[in-house]
Structure 1
């Protein structure tokens, strides 16, 4: 199973379309506080975009909806369903990602058998409520050293206020890639912004890759 090094997080099909036109091939739909029917329709709209572009669709927080739609996977926050329980519900073919803020979080997620881990936040971001303690580059570097020492091979992506200029340092720390929302979605030209992220990630390989 190939985990993309660029995860684009969005709330709408239109934004997903603009990002995919720029080369994004992994889209996570993250919506909050919507009625079930509206959430499902939003997911169907984004799924249509992903299928058109051959992109992976990940549903945030909602394993049942991911299963019903036949999405590619689900991303689970620290307060969401336990990844092991989600695996039992979804089966081996679904991608399951989890959120981590500490090395202990990563240990638990690896033990639960997730396919990738979103580690953050890198810096403050207004796109997520109830933000965990900010890690910064020093925090990422320390945690990645611990992961290597433990022999963990689960891909880890940095998330939380990541900008284009951060990629070389984050990759040098050993991260598999990054997850972004505003850096693409709020750009003057989201398609061009997506293209720049794809290009930068392609040329900057992890120096201490897991």
Structure 2
């Protein structure tokens, strides 16, 4: 199973390079997304700059894609590997025109195969579906996606997709049973009571690695 790690939305003592290096040696991390959520834009940009500089060299060495959430200008300024966009953000085609062909573009598609096919048609490099389970990282009125139904519908997609939202050490077994290949994690890594490294070790054990 491949993992897409998303940063905490605020400064978190557990979100640091030392922990990330250990985590990536335990589970198969393919992406790291920086997703700050501050009241003031200047603090979000400060977070992006500081964390990009902290993680960039290691990510390049390990071929882990470093992704910026929403902010196209910062993604281009930092020369990140890509950007992740929601349905209410800049359109995929416009983002591609602004960033160029070398940047990866990911699109959140909620539970919609229609959105996913549109994203695929418009050149998205990957798609995210969610929430899979009740999320403590993102307050949303959205219902959980029907994983069994989604698994059937995604057979028509050629673009890789990730499952996001409330994934933890217990419910990931449902994703394993459905042979889901790509999973995004936030809270269950950075806010795990025994720390992020122990969390990664527990995921490894659950996956039988």
Q: Scaled by the length of structure 1, what TM-score is found?
A: 0.82
Q: Which residue of structure 2 lines up, in the alignment, with residue 50 of structure 1?
A: 55
- Secondary structure at the aligned position of 2:128 is classed as strand
Instruction: Provide, for residues 21-61 of structure 1, a one-character-per-residue CA deviation record: whole Å limited to 9, x for no partner.
Output: 21145211112244333222211221123224224211111
Structure 1 residue runs of 4 or more that deviate by more than 4 Å after TM superposition: 198-203
Consecutive unaligned residues in structure 2, runs of 5 or more? none
Deviation at 1:20, TM superposition (A): 3.4
Q: Does structure 2 conserve the Cα–Cα contact (< 8 Å) formed by 1:13 and 1:46? A: no
Q: Does structure 1 conserve the Cα–Cα contact (< 8 Å) formed by 2:2 and 2:30? A: no
What is the number of equivalent residue pairs in this alignment? Answer: 195
Question: Does the alignment pair 1:140 with 2:150?
Answer: no
Instruction: Please tell me the root mean square deviation across aligned C-alpha atoms, in Å.
Output: 2.3
Q: How far apart are the structure 1 equivalents of 2:31 and 2:208?
A: 15
- Secondary structure at the aligned position of 1:28 is classed as strand
Instruction: Provide, for residues 89-132 of structure 1, a one-character-per-residue CA deviation record: whole Å limited to 9, x for no partner.
Output: 11111111111122222122111211111111011112113342
Q: How far apart are the structure 2 equivalents of 1:199 and 1:95?
A: 31
Q: How does 1:108-147 map to 2 (within 5 A)?
A: 108-135=118-145, 139-147=146-154
Consecutive unaligned residues in structure 1, runs of 5 or more? 204-210
Q: Does structure 2 conserve the Cα–Cα contact (< 8 Å) formed by 1:183 and 1:193? A: yes
- Secondary structure at the aligned position of 2:6 is classed as strand
Residue among 2, 5, 9 paired with 1:8: 5
Deviation at 1:146, TM superposition (A): 1.5
Q: Scaled by the length of structure 2, what TM-score is found?
A: 0.82
Q: Does structure 1 conserve the Cα–Cα contact (< 8 Å) formed by 2:189 and 2:196? A: yes
